[in-house]
Copies of this chain bind each other. A is one copy, B any other.
Amino acid sequence: MTLRFDIPAVPDLHDAALAACLQHKIDQKTKPLGSLGRLEALALQLGLILGSETPELRAPQMLVCAGDHGLAARGVSAFPSDVTWQMVENFLAGGACVSVLARQHGIALSVVDCGVRHDFAPRENLLNFKVAPGTADALSGPAMTVEQCAQALNNGLRIVQGLPGNALLLGEMGIGNTSAASLLLARLGGLDIADCTGAGTGLDVAAVVRKTEVLREVLLKHPQAQAPLDALAAFGGFEIATLAGAVLQAAAERRVIVVDGFIASAAVLVAARLAPAVLQRCVFAHRSGERGHALLLAQLQAQPLLDLGLRLGEGSGAALAWPLLVSACAVLREMASFESAGVSEKST
């Protein structure tokens, strides 16, 4: 049975003329050449994504995709699965970290029930795209059927089609989802699962060893799941598949994609294996403290903006990095040039 999912077209953003224009504009700003470091590369990237010498970020959307994992019953997480739905309530009530940060920065927050094992009362900002109440146990069979995987991916496309603005921030919640991310990294990156597996929400050393052994067994259970979507279906979860779809659609629409930590990066890994040019649209917010994220970033050849030892997920790192993107655009739009400000240039 083949997975029915049409990958959106994600064209290459290469535009040598615009890139040269942007670089010249950055170099003419009243500052020593290159002195804004990484912020200059970010300004160039944002200009290219938004196709403008004066890029402006509008109506940023934080999408917190939530789902449960059958594998959680195998003791791979320090927290019980009920925390997934409890945190969804916390996001909606405004008390979670990502809620606080989204409020600070004027980022609209939508929570997506991609497959939480709980019945939610309808609420503003809660999008119901539940595929099933949690994935199946990946140690017994595939986490998702191919139909479920296609449904979650297509949900991601549809969700983004309905969102305003030109920037998407990726967030997630799902007890057990570092396991799914580690499995995807190990399989798609061809890496040893031990190098990809970390403490998640706070396992001790012995528990990480047990988690690693469970994940090693899961990989052995699915030797045929080598292609990106086969691996995604085998390992889950619904929130990662929905995010992967959202990334593809956002990229196709030329939105700026702000990638959070380990789980969000795993969704990007899947999307990038299907359409490599999505990476041109991705700004990597931070290097997570979760073991495996550095390797995952290396797979994506990504340079994250922040390195603060965050390992919370939810989109919290993406929200923390957000003002840097706003700054990069503001520098392009508002800073004076040597000429306009009447400032002398470097003596040579």
Contacts and interface: CB of A to CB of B under 8 A. Distances in A.
Interface of A: 29-39, 78-80, 82-83, 86-87, 89-90, 93-97, 100-101, 103-105, 200-202, 289, 305-312, 316, 320, 323-324, 326-327, 330-331, 334-336, 340-347
A167 to B, nearest CB: 16
A38 B104 contact: no
A213 B175 CA distance: 60
Q: How many copies does the complex hold?
A: 2
A97 B331 contact: yes
Nearest to A288: B37
Contacts of A312: 31-32, 35-36
12 contacts: A31-B97, A32-B202, A35-B201, A79-B344, A86-B344, A96-B336, A100-B330, A100-B335, A104-B323, A105-B323, A305-B308, A320-B323
A interface majority secondary structure: loop
Contact of A334 (B95, B202, B306, B310): B95
A201 B327 contact: no
Contact of A95 (B37, B79, B340, B347): B340
Contacts of A345: 79
A268 to B, nearest CB: 21
